[in-house]
């Protein structure tokens, strides 16, 4: 959906190279995206949800992936 911080720009995976681009955070655009999420016009696919304690492994790519969606770090249960 939206990433404003990433380390994938150096990836050699062509799928990532084709879909990754750098943008500057823009409040108006982020507000429009939030509105689209709230209205259901935009949906994101979540692959897995992990507790904060597993964040280092998830960010290092050590977490088992099941699908194509986003990996979510849950900060509060």
Per residue in 59-76, pLDDT (tens digit) is 887 777 777 888 888 988
Residue (of 39, 57, 35, 38) closest to 48 by Cα position: 57
What global pTM score does this model have?
0.49
Query: What three-state secondary structure class fits 14?
Result: helix
Residue ranges per domain, the chain? 1-43, 45-77
Helix locations, the chain, DSSP H: 14-19, 27-39, 55-59
What is the model's pLDDT at position 15?
64
Per residue in 24-64, pLDDT (tens digit) is 778 998 899 889 989 999 888 888 899 999 988 888 877 77
Residue (of 18, 21, 16, 15) closest to 3 by Cα position: 21
What is the model's pLDDT at position 19?
63
């Amino acid at each position: 959906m939206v990433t404003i911080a990433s380390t994938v720009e150096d990836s050699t995976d062509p799928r990532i190279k084709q879909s990754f681009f750098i943008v500057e955070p823009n409040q108006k655009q982020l507000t429009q995206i939030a509105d689209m999420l709230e209205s259901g016009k935009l949906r994101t696919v979540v692959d897995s949800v992990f507790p904060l304690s597993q964040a280092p492994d998830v960010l290092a790519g050590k977490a088992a992936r099941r699908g194509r969606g986003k990996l979510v770090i849950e900060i509060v249960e």
